[in-house]
Amino acid sequence: MHSTGLNTNQMMRQVIYALVLGVSASYVFFGWGVVIQILLGTIAALVVEATFVAMRGRQVLASISDGSAALTGILLAISIPAIAPWWVVVVGVAFAIIFGKQLYGGLGNNPFNPAMLGYAFLLISYPLQMTTWPVDFLSFSQVIDEVFNLVNFDGISGATRLDDVKTSLSLGSDIATLQVRSISQAWINIGFLVGGIYLLARKIIFWHIPVAVLSGILMMALLISIFDSQQHLPVQNHLILGGTMLGAFFIATDPVSASTTPKGRLIYGFLMGVLIVIIRAYGGYPDGIAFAVLLMNMMVPLIDQYTQPKVFGRS
């Protein structure tokens, strides 16, 4: 993030404001589950953060009021299916706060993006719950029944478009025979893109990482499609499916776990974009943003070491 004169709480609030359009689009297509997951994720994040800060003998109010824990809960909540059981987001957020943040000493010391660490943990541990999304707008009562396991409705859930395409390709279909477009995911990505532009305009994030991530996605997707266009998504679909814009503008730009030098941010973002496409095309999961972010988090010390600006004069 830029040096804007804003404190941590003010910057976190700006990021949360920027999420509104993308979250609103998710609500329009998926219903009340989006809101309920955000509430559950935020409450869980604040409770877990307060508990561990108190155990460490630190000031609880100062820690939970900086907004970082709440933002972690929100980012994880909007990344998981809107009808996931209530305990999924609670367990994921607890893992993110404990193993992604507090065990390293709290905000500013974590080498990994906490939200993506929690997401990867959930995806590996609970693949069914993490890949089952609502297929239509769900009312408040339907979501309450589904999320809290009161009633199971048939026919309200399905896989994402990326998951559908990946499964169909593995069964021998080719791209020309598949419907790869998704109106809902396109509008959700546009919402997060507008929010990302807002963050750039307010100088909350640097332009290097999101531009490099999208460039890496475009270049790798183009290369793959040149060699085998029938078995891989067209370039443009990589931009409007999955969590592309959320990842590029809100996840990859985490100021703590991302590269800190201008040249390093470009390398960090570009390689992340390349990894996202490789995981989508050849990995076992339909989307690869969480794993790409975590892999690049591991590379940050090396990238920063070799991209430090040269000193041309000494006093």
Which residues make Cβ contacts (< 8 Å) with residue 194, sequence separation at least 6?
A: 21, 22
Cα separation, 68 vs 46, in Å, equals 9
List of the chain residues with pLDDT < 70: 1-4, 151-158, 313-315
Token pair 């201008």 is at which residue?
Answer: 262
Token pair 């009808």 is at which residue?
Answer: 83
pLDDT at 196: 97
Question: What's the whole-model pTM score?
Answer: 0.91
pLDDT at 131: 86
CA angle 132–31–290, rounded 5-degree value: 45
Token pair 């707008």 is at which residue?
Answer: 137
Cα separation, 144 vs 151, in Å, equals 9
Token pair 């183009």 is at which residue?
Answer: 222
pLDDT at 156: 65
The alpha-helical segments, DSSP class H, found in the chain are: 8-18, 20-30, 33-55, 60-64, 68-77, 86-100, 114-125, 127-130, 140-147, 161-170, 183-201, 208-227, 235-240, 244-246, 262-282, 289-306
